[in-house]
Amino acid sequence: MKRFTFLFVALSSLTKAILAVPSTASRSVVGKECALLFDGRVPQKMTPADFDKNTSIFDHQFVHGQNQTWAEIIKFPVGIPPSMFDIPKLAKPVEVTINDQSIFLPGGNPPEPQFGFRRSELIPATNNGSDITVQGTTTFHWSIRNDPLRPLNFSHEYHPRWHETADFSTSQFTFLTGKPFNQSFDPTVHDPKTLRLAGLQANSPETTFFQTPFEFDVWHNFAVTVGWTSNELTVYYSKGHAPLERVAGPLSNDNSGGGQFHTGVFKLPTGPLGIDVVHEGFQESNLNEGLIFGGIFIEDSADGCVTASPS
């Protein structure tokens, strides 16, 4: 899973349509639907326990604490309206939480618990690292909002979304919030209560392509188009039910390595620079934190197709 050895030793409104965004210009393709590669929008009938079944739309085994189940981690918040891309599917928001038991035990000989992190992350069940979601050009969609009942501690760095390479050595892009563990690694970040999209994690300093205030009690909608062979990355953003707008790119980014798309709460520790953040650092006790997600899907953008708003 996510490694940090290299890290710490050292979206004018758009029309309600489908955007096509080649590397030179934008154009609208009205009435066209992009081909879905993965649909992670959660049906109304789905229960937390369903996430533990091998029929789940997400991987039923990864990633959570070694003695935890998804039935304990997944919540369906009451009174939260669906995100704009959930509405046409009659889907519901889903919350991913962490607590003191959210300590992941990766493989290894011997296996070493990741005591430095607290993490719970959903991975598409069909996303095996070399599948169609990491071929050609694909766009990753999600919406996110805070839970006032399970607030984050913004003195920590969090990764709610990222795409990790198949060899677990880095991430092609990372979606972050909170205070950077290493400020020199994220020098453009001056407010921890921001939502940020950064490129290849192996770069130092990391390239932050887009950031926006993390306004509470509203949906923040994101899409990231990844050219797996063109090595380009484009970012889209909107708030509430407004159509997505292109806010960055296409920009050069090393997208090699395939891999998997993580959604959830990944919390780094605090502590002095130079510590082994995987296994060391400070995490508060009695944790009860969470983030609410919606509109999770991946689409084929080989022809420039990017969904800007529900049809």
Residue 145 to residue 28: CA distance in whole angstroms: 28
Report the C-alpha gap between 197 and 253 in whole angstroms.
12
pLDDT at position 38 is: 98
Phi, psi of 146 (to 5 degrees): -80, 165
Q: Is the pLDDT of residue 4 over 80?
A: no
Asked if residue 172 lies in contact with residue 165, where contact means CB atoms within 8 angstroms, the answer is: yes
How far is residue 30's CA from residue 10's CA, in Å, rounded to a whole number? 47
Which pLDDT band holds residue 166 (cuts at 50, 70, 90)?
very high
Compare 18 and 66 and report the one with higher pLDDT: 66
Per-residue CA distances from 227 to 35, 135, 141, 206, 300 (Å):
16, 8, 15, 19, 11
Percent of the chain exceeding pLDDT 90 equals 85
Strands 305-307, 245-252: parallel, antiparallel or unpaired by DSSP?
unpaired
pTM of the entire structure? Answer: 0.90
* Angle made by CA atoms 196, 201, 202, in degrees to the nearest 5: 155
Alpha-carbon gap, residue 161 to 127, rounded angstroms: 15
Report d(CA 34, CA 58) in Å as an integer: 21
Closest CA to 208 of 219, 217, 216, 196: 196
Q: What is the reported pLDDT for 32?
A: 63
The pLDDT, as a whole number, for residue 23 is 36
- Residue 40 · residue 296 · CB < 8 Å: yes
The predicted-structure confidence for 14-49, as pLDDT tens digits, reads as follows 333 334 333 323 333 334 689 999 999 999 999 999
- Which helix (H) or strand (E) segment is 298 a member of? strand 289-300
The pLDDT, as a whole number, for residue 256 is 97
For residue 234, give both structure tokens: 């484009």
DSSP state of 7: H
Mean local confidence (pLDDT), 291-295: 98
pLDDT(276) > 90 = yes
Residues listed for the chain: 311
Task: Please tell me whether residue 309 adopts helix, strand or coil conformation.
Answer: coil
Q: What is the mean pLDDT of residues 131-157?
A: 98
Residue 75 CA to residue 77 CA, distance in Å, equals 6
